[in-house]
Amino acid sequence: MAQQEKIFVAGHRGMVGSAIVRRLQQGGYAHILTQTRQELDLLDQRAVQQYIAQEKPDYLFIAAAKVGGIQANNVFRADFLYQNLVIETNLIHAAHLAGVQRLMFLGSSCIYPKLAPQPLKETCLLTGELEPTNEPYAIAKIAGIKLCEAYNHQYGRQYISVMPTNLYGPNDNYDLQTSHVLPALIRKAHEAKVRGDDTLVVWGSGTPMREFLYADDLADACVHLMEQGYDGPLVNIGTGSDVSIRELAETVKEVVGFQGTLSFDASKPDGTPRKLMDVSRLHALGWQARTGLKAGIERAYSDFLMRTHA
Ligand code: GDP
């Protein structure tokens, strides 16, 4: 990627897209294109094709997606499947029609089978049943990976796919009904501290294991791969280590300064028991995560405080 080339970041208002834009700006990239939802509705095939044909970006990052935590994925199953399929097919096909040669598609670790051997290798894709709570989202993301592979195969494009683990960081979603676990726990711990509550309610049993990557680390990995001109098969992006939800809740408690105890709500789903990424492919490509979990939670908590007191 040269600094004067045009780079379109789809989804720049979200946690991942905004982190990619920050990272590109820090890297001196001068020609970054972004579109708000009002300016360009990514569900509108004709509008997407017109925009990309007109701008002809040199690079496209697809960070736009309908995302959410375990409950949102499980309840809004049609929206997650439909919107993600449409957004990715609109963007990938429009990029191809406009002659965009390089594109990065962002997926998620939930594409891998529920009971695949841990840590999850890229090669375990499509070797077993998916986790039911996020199957619609996973199916849409698998279709996106296959679409990129098909354009590469049929038309010689260089459309790569990366699979981030669970992410957190600035611009996260703190809505308790739709968010992921980490922002939910930050908010719940903060509110419990402010109210002086005795307990903090954690969904499920606390035993599932999850890996967490700070959004700016993810953005750095994405830009690293594009700068290298990587055009091989999909790559996992993670830290390589995980914690139980109970341990995570303890760390959040400590960072936020909530003194009470944890209680576990068994009426909420646990989801997949574990989804630790195998990051050896990423390490071999010269990139490793930098932000430790506690330091990342401290930064995320500052961001939460800034937003809630703005
Ligand atoms: P997942 O990684 O796709 O399962 O998505 P989440 O980040 O939403 O949930 C991860 C795990 O954290 C699951 O086992 C949840 O039950 C658990 N969890 C505990 N408390 C919460 C909470 O307040 N919100 C969410 N979303 N998950 C929670």
- At 93-115, the pLDDT tens digits run 999 999 999 999 999 999 999 99
Other CB atoms within 10 A of residue 70 CB = 24
Residue 179 CA: which ligand 1 atom is closest?
26
pLDDT score recorded for residue 309: 77
Which ligand 1 atom sits closest to the C-alpha of 268? 16
Q: Which is catalytic among the residues 29, 59, 137, 168? A: 137
Q: Among 19-23, 76-80, 240-244, 306-310, name the one with the lowest average pLDDT.
A: 306-310
pLDDT (average), residues 24-53? 98
Give the Cα separation of 124 and 121 in Å (integer). Answer: 6
Instruction: Return the pLDDT at 160.
Output: 98
Measure 99 CA to ligand 1 centroid, in angstroms.
40
Give the number of the atom of ligand 1 that is nearest the alpha carbon of residue 182. 7
The number of beta carbons lying within 10 Å of the beta carbon of residue 102 is 21
Distance 189 CA to ligand 1 centre (A): 15
- The CA-to-CA distance between both ends of the chain, in Å, stands at 36
Given this model, what pLDDT does residue 310 score? 59
For 109-137, letters b (16+ CB in 10 Å) and e give: bbbbbbebebbbbbebbeeeebbebbbbb
Please give the average per-residue pLDDT across 290-303, as a whole number.
Answer: 97
Residue 301: active-site member:
no
What is the Å distance from ligand 1's center to 9 Cα?
Answer: 28
Residue 308 has pLDDT above 90, yes or no: no
pLDDT in tens, 149-168: 999 999 999 999 999 999 99
Q: Give the Cα separation of 300 and 271 in Å (integer).
A: 24
